Amino acid sequence: MRYITFALAKGRLAKKAMDILEKSGITCEEMKDESSRKLIFVNEELKLKFFLSKASDVPTYVEYGAADIGVVGKDTIMEEGRNLYEVMDLGIGKCRMCVAGPESARDLLNNHELIRVATKYPVIAKDYFYNRKHQTVEIIKLNGSVELAPIVGLSEVIVDIVETGTTLKENGLCVLEEICPLSARVVVNQVSMKMENERINEILARFRAGLLE
Ligand code: PRP
């Protein structure tokens, strides 16, 4: 029997996903050793492999079949636009994709002015402004701490993830428009879904059972 391989977005999401699987009897003891530098973990009994990767790489591993199953945020799935099946909403890591900025930027948005938008998510930002709002904007790609951009005058607004809203608040910014809700999803390689249908359905059933625990 071949291994079924999981790619998990490293960090909080991976821990929560493993907790869900553990509740339904899929464990990986090796993975809990936080001092280990190992990249790949095996459950020999169930013929499963797990690895952690940068969130934005999870859809890539799954599209190419290097992983059969992935657990990653909806934000990353939308931004990466890979060919894969999104099969389950785990309902964890809930947050929102928003347009945010100083209150003074509200009028610029309402008047459809040519503003600058800083974001880690240029695909999502472009789709929102061009296809949904029909507003021409200049998108500036950043790699983190996006809230800085309107403060230092790089952009008028940002497109970013808002969870509690604390980061915005502490920096004198607020949510101006809501783009979409986000949460962690299970994604599956399109060929694996056909070739390993039975085992993958079994794993998805375990995810569902784990969520109910
Ligand atoms: C995310 C996001 C916000 C923050 C929102 O950043 O980009 O900065 O969390 O959370 P809050 O609404 O609860 O304050 P992350 O920690 O992922 O790091 P980043 O700065 O690299 O984007």
Could you report the per-residue pLDDT of 46-76, keeping only the tens digit for each? 999 999 999 999 999 999 999 999 999 999 9
Domain-wise residue ranges, the chain: 4-93+183-212, 95-180
Q: What's the pLDDT score for residue 73? A: 97
Structural contact between residues 118 and 140, judged by C-beta atoms closer than 8 angstroms: yes
Ligand 1 center to 81 CA (angstroms): 22
- E-strand stretches of the chain: 4-9, 40-43, 48-53, 69-73, 85-89, 95-101, 116-119, 138-141, 157-162, 174-182, 184-188
The single-letter code of the amino acid at 63 is E
Nearest-CA residue for atom 20 of ligand 1: 145
Q: What's the pLDDT score for residue 28? A: 79
Query: Which portions of the chain are predicted below pLDDT 50?
Result: none
* Residue of 10, 160, 167, 178 to mutate, ligand 1, most atoms within 8 A of C-beta: 167
Dihedrals φ, ψ of 83, to 5°? -85, 110
Q: What's the pLDDT score for residue 38? A: 84
Nearest-CA residue for atom 5 of ligand 1: 162
Encoding tokens for residue 176? 């101006």
The CATH architecture to which 4-93+183-212 belongs is: 3-Layer(aba) Sandwich (3.40)
Ligand 1 center to 145 CA (angstroms): 7
Nearest-CA residue for atom 1 of ligand 1: 161
Could you report the per-residue pLDDT of 78-107, keeping only the tens digit for each? 999 999 999 999 999 999 999 999 999 999
- 79/194 Cα distance (integer angstroms): 25
Question: Using a 6 Å CB cutoff, which residues line ligand 1?
Answer: 120, 144-147, 160-167
Q: What's the pLDDT score for residue 32? A: 79
Which atom of ligand 1 is nearest the CA belonging to 145? Answer: 20
- 199/205 Cα distance (integer angstroms): 10
Structural contact between residues 55 and 8, judged by C-beta atoms closer than 8 angstroms: no
Residue written as token pair 């199953």: 69
Ligand 1 center to 88 CA (angstroms): 24
Q: What's the pLDDT score for residue 213? A: 82
Ligand 1 center to 165 CA (angstroms): 9
- Provide CATH code, domain 95-180: 3.40.190.10
Q: Do domains 4-93+183-212 and 95-180 have the same CATH topology?
A: yes
